[in-house]
Amino acid sequence: MTKPRKLRIEFRKNRSTRRRGGDLTRTVAGEPDHADEHVAHERISGKGDLTRKRTVRAAAAPVGAIDGLSVEPIDGSVGWRGQVLNVHGLETFVVGPDGGVVKCTLRRLLRTLATDQRHPVAAGDWVRVADGVIQSVEPRRTSLSRDSRGRRHVIVANVDQLIIVGSVAQPDLKPALIDRLIVAAESSGIRPVVCLNKTDLVDPATLVPCAGVYARMGYPVILCSTTTGMGIARLAAELPGRVTAVVGQSGVGKSSLLNALDPALALPVAAVSRENEKGRHTTTTARLLRHRFDGWFVDTPGVRQFALWRMVPAEAPAAFRDLRPLANLCRFPDCTHAHEVDCAVKDAVADGLLDTRRWESCRGLAGAGVGRDAEDDE
């Protein structure tokens, strides 16, 4: 067993307030009899409470260098190991070794560490709990993350595959959002599965071009309809023994699909708005759900915008399976595939060997920057 390493880490800067506030000279002049009650001195060099640090023990690697917080508990032998079902505000629901669900709070150290994450824990995390308090979070095997105002929002953790649900109508299909979710999944080692739902609303033959683009790249593509039952059995074949996250924009029918796969879940559903054909949020937080196929679902809230987390725009072509081999044939190694001469990617688009929409999607990531939300996600 490796010895835990000791690390010097920082706390968040907003955990302390200034000792003195306002104009001290004016305050003393107005109340000279109470001058001795005011703080007489204050550090102004940036040291002290405003830059607190603490030594902690990490299980495997420094905090920030791994996917997750591996801070060791005070006593590694105390408590029990469980998995986070869902996070609701300051409350975290964890399933224990006996299958029971325990409502827990976070150890203060985990809440105050200076990290780039919006929240220290996410659905699917493995944690260690003692007396109803989460003492530590294990490093994540996989995670689906997005950028949220410059901070990392981990939607789900420790999942095996990602079912990306898109509706072919009501609301309309958003291929650019599917592309972003595929890139985010592959960058974390998660197997993506593309599911085109509500096929009863259109002629299935019109979906062949879109489905064929992803199928040619080796991604499983499943056409589904909860109304006719089309594709439900095919989708169920992907579930046994796996932890499966289900993502997609609001209104595409994620909860309806889960109810069709396992009616015992009885998840709430809502109709799409008639005014703007956008879905209503019936799922408000990501949560783990055990299903009848000996595995887990992770039902997630609807996504209307998805900004990739910390991907350099120049790396975008390498994240597209169909562009990756062509990019190596360009004349210039730093080719942006937009205006350069002797660009193998542009030549493939002109010759009909590469889907034009996929090229435009890649250009959208590389040109607009992957850290911002795309307009066509809406």
In a shared domain, residues 277 and 249? yes
Which residue, 299, 328, 344, sits at the end of a domain?
Answer: 299
Identify the residue with better confidence: 115 or 315.
315
**Residues 117, 165 share a domain:** no
Q: What is the pLDDT of residue 204?
A: 85
Q: Does residue 253 belong to any structural domain of this protein? A: yes
pLDDT tens digit string along 266-303?
Answer: 888 876 655 555 555 567 788 999 999 999 999 998 88
- State the amino acid at position 297 in one-letter form: F
Look up residue 345 and give its amino acid: V
Number of domains in the chain: 3
pLDDT at position 221 is: 96
> Is there a single domain that holds both residue 287 and residue 340?
no
Predicted confidence band of residue 18 (pLDDT cuts 50, 70, 90): low
DSSP string covering 59-124: SSS-TTSSSS--BPPSSTTSSEEEEEEEEETTEEEEE-TTS-EEEEEE-HHHHHB--SBSSS--BT
Question: Does one domain contain both 275 and 353?
Answer: no
- Choose the weakest-confidence range: 43-52, 78-87, 343-352: 43-52
Residue 160 belongs to some domain of the structure: yes
Are the C-beta atoms of residues 110 and 69 closer than 8 Å to each other?
yes
Decide if 24 is inside a domain.
no
Structure confidence at residue 287 (pLDDT): 92
Classify residue 305: in a domain, yes or no. no
Q: Are residues 221 and 326 in the same domain?
A: no
pLDDT of 92:
94
Q: Are strands 191-197 and 161-167 parallel, antiparallel or unpaired?
A: parallel
Mean pLDDT score, 34-56: 58
Specify the pLDDT at position 129: 93
| Total Cβ atoms within 10 A of residue 265 | 16
The pLDDT value recorded for residue 160 is 95
Phi, psi angle pair for 86, to nearest 5°: -165, 160
Residue 114: the pLDDT is 57
Please list, in sequence order, all residues whose beta carbon lies within 8 angstroms of the beta carbon of residue 345, skipping any fewer than 6 positions away. 317, 323, 326, 327, 330, 335, 337, 354, 359
For the cut 90, the answer to whether the pLDDT of residue 229 exceeds it is yes
Domain that holds residue 287: 156-299
Pick from 183-192, 253-262, 273-282, 291-300: least confident: 273-282
Q: Quick one: 73 and 131 in the same domain?
A: yes
Whether 209 maps to a domain, the answer reads yes
Q: The domain that contains 288 carries what CATH number?
A: 3.40.50.300
Q: Does residue 47 form part of some domain?
A: no
Q: Is residue 306 in a domain?
A: no
- 268 shares a domain with 357: no
- The neighbour count for residue 89, using CB atoms within 10 Å, is 7
Q: Are 268 and 255 in contact (CB under 8 A)?
A: yes
Domain at 366, CATH number = 1.10.40.50
- pLDDT at 196 exceeding the cut of 60: yes
204: Cα separation from own chain's centroid: 31
User: What local confidence, expressed as pLDDT, does residue 61 receive?
Assistant: 45
More confident residue, 357 or 39: 357
Mean pLDDT confidence for 87-97: 91
CB 301 within 8 A of CB 249: no
Same structural domain, 163 and 214: yes
User: Of 61-65, 127-131, 275-279, 374-378, which has the strongest mean pLDDT?
Assistant: 127-131
Q: Where among 140, 171, 203 does a domain terminate?
A: 140
The confidence score (pLDDT) of residue 220 equals: 95
Mean pLDDT throughout 46-73? Answer: 52
In a domain, 308, yes or no: no
Question: Of 246, 276, 299, which residue is a domain's last?
Answer: 299
Q: How high is the pLDDT of residue 44?
A: 52
pLDDT at 378: 39
